[in-house]
């Protein structure tokens, strides 16, 4: 099991946006603990390819769905219940990012980012709330350090991730103590090798040095934190947003 030395053979995990990138790393990590994993992505081709590759690691099920669609979420829940009969961990990872000047950003574009990043998480949480309460489960939302800091022209993404952080503590109060709800806000996570084509981006020394930890993050960093949050032994931790950025948001930069 390597770094992921936790036994979850009796647990079922549902991960959104997991055909590649951070979501794929999350799926791998939970499979390596013995959990059964259902993962959702709207990219059917990538999802089926990932399912075939991951089948050697454990019991995995891919469902093609757009989490911003209420009917699609309901159908996905039914499929997981039919296949695995329960749910213990929900990870809302699905997200889209749009960088566009404010005055050029259309309402349709703004709404699409919020629909996937924020409304999608709401729909999944609402759909699974009863089952997670019954199983005394865990919800983990994947937000971003963009909820607390910004680059120009990222209004829709920042707003959606800020909303996800707020949704996290609201859910923790509404669903607790039966369900624990926490949020991970990653910083710079290099997912280039997990994109279509799998070409690793060459990072410079300056890229790494701007992080107090000394390096840019990788998807397995997020997966390890998600495993920690899913561990029943950590049942005193809820309603929190954990920033995972190598200390980057704490570093003052003067030019």
Active site residues: 157
* Full domain range(s) for residue 218: 12-250
pLDDT at 159 over 70: yes
Q: For residue 2, give both structure tokens.
A: 């390597």
Given a contact cutoff of 8 angstroms between Cβ atoms, the answer to whether 139 and 181 are in contact is yes
How far is 72 from 148, CA to CA, in rounded Å?
Answer: 31
Contact call for residues 159 and 176 (beta carbons, < 8 A): no
Mean pLDDT of the chain: 93
pLDDT for 3 equals: 46
Q: Span 162-190, mean pLDDT?
A: 97
Q: pLDDT tens-digit profile of 42-65?
A: 999 999 999 999 999 999 999 999
- At residue 204, the pLDDT reads 82
Rounded distance between C-alpha atoms, residue 110 and residue 90, angstroms:
26
Asked whether residue 7 is domain-assigned, the answer is no
pLDDT value for 194: 64
Say what the pLDDT of residue 188 is.
84
Is 133 contained in some domain? yes
Residue 255 has pLDDT above 70, yes or no: no
Task: For helices 107-114 and 155-175, give the axis angle rounded to 10 degrees.
Answer: 30
To which H or E segment does residue 228 belong? helix 219-230
131-145, 156-170, 171-185, 198-212: segment of lowest average pLDDT: 198-212
- Containing 69, the helix (H) or strand (E) segment is none
Find tokens 């029943």 and name the residue: 232
Split into its structural domains, the chain has a count of 1
Residue 4, in any domain of the structure: no
**232 in a domain, yes or no?**
yes
| Mean predicted confidence (pLDDT) in 234-248 | 96
Question: How would you list the strands of the sheet with 36-41, edge to edge?
Answer: 60-64, 36-41, 12-16, 89-92, 138-142, 180-186, 241-244
- Give the pLDDT of residue 210: 87
* pLDDT value at residue 195: 61
Q: What is the CATH number of the domain that holds 126?
A: 3.40.50.720
pLDDT digits (tens, 9 = 90+) for 85-123: 999 999 999 999 999 999 999 999 999 999 999 999 999
pLDDT score for 201: 75
Torsional sign, CA 16, 19, 23, 29? positive
In a domain? residue 207: yes
58 DSSP assignment: S
132 falls within a domain: yes
């Amino acid at each position: 099991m390597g770094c992921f030395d936790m036994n979850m053979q009796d647990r079922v995990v549902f991960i959104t946006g997991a055909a590649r990138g951070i979501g794929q790393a999350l799926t791998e990590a939970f499979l390596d603990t013995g959990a059964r994993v259902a993962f959702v992505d709207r990219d059917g081709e990538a999802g089926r390819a990932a399912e075939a590759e991951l089948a050697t690691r454990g019991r995995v099920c891919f469902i093609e769905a757009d989490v911003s669609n209420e009917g699609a979420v309901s159908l996905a829940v039914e499929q997981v219940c039919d296949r695995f009969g329960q749910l213990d961990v929900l990870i809302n990872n699905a997200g889209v990012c749009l960088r566009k000047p404010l005055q050029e950003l259309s309402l349709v574009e703004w709404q699409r980012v919020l629909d996937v990043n924020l409304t999608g998480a709401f729909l999944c949480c609402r759909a699974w709330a009863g089952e997670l309460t019954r199983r005394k489960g865990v919800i983990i939302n994947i937000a971003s350090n963009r909820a607390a800091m910004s680059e120009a022209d990222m209004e829709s993404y920042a707003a959606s991730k800020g909303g996800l952080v707020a949704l996290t503590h609201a859910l923790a109060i509404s669903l607790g103590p039966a369900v624990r709800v926490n949020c991970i806000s990653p910083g710079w996570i290099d997912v280039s090798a997990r994109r279509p084509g799998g070409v690793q981006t060459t990072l410079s020394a300056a890229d790494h040095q701007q992080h107090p930890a000394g390096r840019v993050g990788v998807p397995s960093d997020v997966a390890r934190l998600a495993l920690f949050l899913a561990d029943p032994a950590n049942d005193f931790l809820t309603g929190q947003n954990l920033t995972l950025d190598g200390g980057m948001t704490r570093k003052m930069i003067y030019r």
